[in-house]
Copies of this chain bind each other. A is one copy, B any other.
Amino acid sequence: MSRAEILESTDAAVAGIEDGSTILVGGFGLAGMPFDLIDALIRQGANDLTIVSNNAGNGDVGLAALLAAGRVRKVLCSFPRQADSWVFDGLYREGKIELEVVPQGNLAERMRAAGAGIGAFYCPTAVGTPLAEGKEEREIDGRRYLLEYPIKGDYALIGAHVADAMGNLVYRKTARNFGPVMATAATTTIVQVDEVVEPGKLDPEAVVTPSIYVDRIVQVEARRYTVQGAR
């Protein structure tokens, strides 16, 4: 990936996302959720998407709104069912959306593997459970493991706190969650940030996502998190 572009609008940031793309969407609940990029993606119109994210939408905003607009064919996530996941629940019960439930750690580690060039890895999670079905099992040093494959994205949409103009990123508190991993696992990583600063303003010891993983940056207005219907 060459140097990150800094774009003027979220619409420019999501331009060109093709129908049928696999999109990694950051966030854990509201924290780190790239709401502005998702709104832009809804306007942009890409269809038949596969979404990889920890949850499957809260309330009627963000991912839930993308689902409600009928743009999503399949969701890979660890925890779709929540108190306020009514949009997903409805689509799922009507058979209008595919679901692959992935243990949260596998979701993270499989994306890390995609970013790190690992072809597959043996993991102890889910051995002996229904989620082991169809997976290759192997015993190593007396412990049972399942073979897990990478999850690669065409795009990642993530939220971060501050970017420098090179594309280095820092996050805030537990809003860091999936962002740094997804940035490594996607062909094109698109980031919404609260602020863009000059190179040299971020402490090089504290950069969490190095610039090499970032393709497009857009600064957005600070979000009020008191979103109706989402927690």
Most chain B Cβ neighbours within 10 Å, of A118, A119, A122, A138 = A119
1/0 per residue A202-228: CB within 8 Å of B?
A: 011110100000000000000000000
Most chain B Cβ neighbours within 10 Å, of A122, A123, A145, A173 = A122
Report the separation of the CA atoms of residues A116 and B124 in the bound assembly, to the nearest whole angstrom.
10
Smallest CB gap from A176: residue in B: B205
A122 and B124 within 8 A (CB): no
Residue A171 at the chain B interface, CB threshold 8 Å? yes
Question: Which parts of A110-137 form the interface with B (CB within 8 Å)?
Answer: 113, 116-124
Copies of this chain present in the complex amount to 2
A123 partner, pick from B109, B118, B170, B173, beta carbons under 8 A: B118
Smallest CB gap from A118: residue in B: B121
A-B contact pairs, 24 of them (CB 8 A): A109-B116, A109-B118, A113-B121, A117-B123, A117-B124, A118-B122, A119-B121, A119-B123, A119-B124, A119-B138, A119-B140, A119-B141, A119-B145, A120-B122, A120-B140, A120-B145, A121-B121, A121-B122, A170-B205, A172-B205, A173-B204, A173-B205, A205-B208, A206-B206
